[in-house]
């Protein structure tokens, strides 16, 4: 047993070395089974759980079902009933989903064994019947016989001896065909016990004696001890005290023999363990002796090598001094080149900054000029027209003295003067309001595009779809400011030569795609955002929109803005 455990552990190590989780899971399952047989139940559960976790990670469904069955069987055997039921239930659930008949049969058999050991005989009968049917369909005679044998036990415990005997005899017929002597022996003994329970002493003794002969033949001492006890009980039931005593003594003798064998096996295990430790100690001593010899040889080699190393070090120091001097000269040159690059970059940044200021100043100047002209139109030309209007009103008081033709000319002139006054007011208002407020987002962006293209090396492609109707002032102003900020970022930081702006409007949403062919940046590294990006996100969030950035080093940048449109956010033209 210890050798088997040793090789199973070696199998786990080998599987780890070749990175095979599948082989490691199988080795853990084997080791868990060996620990269970040795009575080390905690270790058995530990390795079976380890096997299950590995198989779940791999995704091997059949092997997962096998691991769940093994854990259910171990927990059931050591009295952990709740855990056992949980494993068997999950095993059955997964086998039904996997739809593999052999796995379903195994899972039903597991549930049946739990029910049988927990006195739920009716459920045990149902599960064993289902498992037996599945094994029969698969032509698995051993599995069918095993289920019939356990089904007989379930019927016997349910006080249905006739059904119990029928199942035992069916199982016996299958085991006899297969030549499974231990299973045949169990069938004989169970038949004897059931007949004894029915009071049929002759039939009980007949099957017990058959079990006795077979157990003595194959040397099954554990089973023989139980058979002798059953025969003794049957003779006692018959009233034959002498025969009952004889078989009770035989049972005691077999029990002593089993104990002696177990003691002998234990002694052999201890002897084997001692021999193994002795061999390991001798190997360790030999290794230590070899290690000391190797150490002595290495010391001698070191002395010889030390002289060579000393000479080499002197040569290396000489060469190193030469290379350091040469490296310093190279570093000074590289530093000068780097400083020159930094200086040029700083100059470029200053030029770009100046371009931005020039563009902003130009646009601000245009806006101020509009306002100035509007003020001039309103204040000066407007006042002059008002004075002319007063003169016309004065003439109107003397209308009765004018001729008919003159009156008609006066009326026409007065009407034209009213129209001129209205037109001057409109022009003044429009110029003071600005392009964005008066003509809308598309016109304002077109003006911005033309202004930037005239004052920078940037080529801007601008397109719009579905923008026939005006948007609300809040949306147009915020979108305009966001695009201004994005264009500013492009000129400042990206080194782009081309920019594309697309506006796409539907009934529910305004989508803006802003892309450039600049240097780009890694989006994961934008944890510390600049003020510009923060302002952009703030404006978009205020409109209930979303802002996405797709960028990468040397791959340009694409900004996508989605702004929902609700009722009342459209100005009809």
Measured distance CA(5)–CA(47) in Å, rounded:
12
pLDDT of residue 573: 45
Mean pLDDT, rounded, of the chain: 81
Q: How many residues does the chain have?
A: 573
Over residues 208-234, mean pLDDT:
84
Q: How is domain 440-571 classified at the CATH fold level? A: Heat Shock Protein 90 (3.30.565)
Residue 572 has pLDDT above 50, yes or no: no
Helix boundaries (H) for 179-240: 181-197, 201-218, 221-238
The pLDDT tens digits for 408-436 are 777 777 777 777 776 766 665 555 445 66
pLDDT of residue 432: 47
Please, are residues 489 and 517 in contact by the beta-carbon 8 Å criterion?
no
Residue 309 has pLDDT above 60, yes or no: yes
pLDDT of residue 561: 95
Residue 279 has pLDDT above 70, yes or no: yes
Please, are residues 516 and 557 in contact by the beta-carbon 8 Å criterion?
yes
Kindly state the DSSP code that residue 552 receives in the 8-state scheme.
-
pLDDT of residue 351: 47
Please, are residues 423 and 462 in contact by the beta-carbon 8 Å criterion?
no
Q: What is the maximum alpha-carbon separation in the chain?
A: 166
For the chain, the structural domain boundaries read 2-217, 440-571
pLDDT of residue 515: 92
User: What sign for the dihedral angle of Cα 217, 223, 225, 231?
Assistant: negative
Q: What is the CA radius of gyration of the chain?
A: 50
Two structure tokens written together for 403: 């001729």
pLDDT of residue 284: 79
Write down the residue that tokens 């599948």 correspond to: 22
pLDDT of residue 433: 47
Please, are residues 513 and 560 in contact by the beta-carbon 8 Å criterion?
yes
Over residues 217-244, mean pLDDT:
83
Among 235-244, 272-281, 528-537, 557-566, the range of highest mean pLDDT: 557-566
- How many other CB atoms are found less than 10 A from the CB of residue 536? 24
% of the chain beyond a pLDDT of 90: 12
Residue 157 has pLDDT above 80, yes or no: yes
Q: How is domain 2-217 classified at the CATH fold level? A: 1.25.40
Residue 343 has pLDDT above 70, yes or no: no
Measured distance CA(132)–CA(143) in Å, rounded:
7
Measured distance CA(406)–CA(412) in Å, rounded:
10
Measured distance CA(420)–CA(509) in Å, rounded:
42
Among 6-20, 350-364, 430-444, 516-530, the range of highest mean pLDDT: 6-20
pLDDT of residue 547: 93
């Amino acid at each position: 047993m210890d050798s088997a455990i040793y090789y199973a552990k070696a199998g786990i190590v080998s599987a780890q070395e070749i990175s095979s989780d599948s082989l490691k899971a199988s080795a853990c399952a084997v080791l868990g089974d060996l620990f269970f047989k040795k009575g080390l139940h905690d270790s058995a559960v530990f390795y079976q759980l380890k096997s299950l976790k590995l198989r779940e990670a791999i995704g091997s469904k059949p092997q997962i079902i096998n691991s769940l069955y093994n854990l259910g069987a171990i927990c059931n055997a050591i009295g952990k009933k709740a855990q056992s039921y949980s494993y068997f239930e999950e095993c059955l659930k997964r086998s039904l989903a996997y739809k593999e008949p052999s796995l379903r049969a195994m899972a039903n058999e597991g549930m049946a064994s739990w029910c049988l050991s927990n006195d739920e005989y009716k459920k045990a009968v149902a599960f064993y019947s289902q498992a037996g049917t599945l094994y029969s369909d698969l032509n698995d005679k051993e599995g069918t016989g095993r289920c019939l044998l356990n089904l007989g036990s379930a019927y016997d415990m349910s006080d249905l001896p006739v059904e119990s005997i029928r199942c035992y005899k069916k199982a016996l017929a299958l085991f006899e065909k297969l030549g499974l002597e231990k299973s045949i022996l169990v069938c004989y003994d169970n038949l004897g016990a059931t007949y004894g329970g029915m009071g049929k002493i002759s039939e009980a003794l007949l099957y017990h004696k058959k079990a006795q002969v077979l157990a003595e033949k194959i040397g099954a001492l554990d089973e023989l001890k139980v058979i002798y006890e059953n025969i003794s009980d049957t003779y006692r039931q018959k009233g034959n005290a002498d025969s009952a005593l004889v078989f009770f003594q035989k049972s005691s003798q077999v029990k002593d023999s089993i104990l002696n064998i177990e003691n002998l096996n234990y002694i052999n295990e201890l002897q084997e363990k001692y021999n193994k430790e002795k061999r390991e100690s001798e190997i360790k001593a030999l290794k230590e002796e070899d290690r000391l010899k190797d150490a002595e040889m290495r010391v001698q080699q070191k002395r010889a090598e030390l002289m060579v190393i000393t000479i080499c070090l002197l040569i290396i120091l000489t060469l190193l001094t030469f290379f350091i001097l040469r490296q310093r000269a190279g570093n000074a040159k590289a530093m000068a080149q780097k400083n020159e690059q930094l200086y040029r970059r700083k100059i470029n940044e200053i030029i770009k900054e100046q371009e931005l200021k020039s563009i902003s100043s130009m646009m601000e100047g245009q806006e101020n000029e509009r306002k100035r002209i509007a003020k001039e139109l309103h204040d000066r030309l407007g006042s002059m027209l008002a004075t002319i209007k007063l003169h016309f009103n004065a003439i109107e008081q003397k209308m009765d003295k004018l001729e008919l033709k003159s009156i008609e000319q006066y009326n026409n002139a007065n009407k034209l003067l009213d129209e001129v006054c209205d037109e001057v007011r409109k022009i003044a208002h429009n110029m003071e309001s600005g392009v964005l407020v008066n003509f809308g987002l598309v016109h304002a962006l077109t003006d911005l595009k033309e202004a930037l293209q005239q004052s920078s090396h940037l080529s801007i492609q601008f397109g719009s779809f579905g923008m026939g109707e005006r948007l609300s002032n809040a949306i147009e102003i915020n979108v305009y400011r966001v695009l201004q900020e994005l264009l500013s970022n492009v000129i400042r930081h990206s080194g782009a030569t081309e920019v594309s702006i697309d506006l796409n409007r539907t009934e529910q949403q305004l989508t803006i795609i802003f892309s450039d062919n600049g240097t780009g940046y890694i989006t994961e590294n934008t944890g510390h955002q600049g003020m510009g990006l923060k302002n952009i996100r703030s404006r978009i969030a205020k409109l209930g929109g979303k802002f996405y950035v797709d960028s990468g080093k040397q791959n340009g940048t694409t900004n996508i803005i989605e702004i929902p449109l609700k009722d009342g956010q459209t100005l009809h033209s």
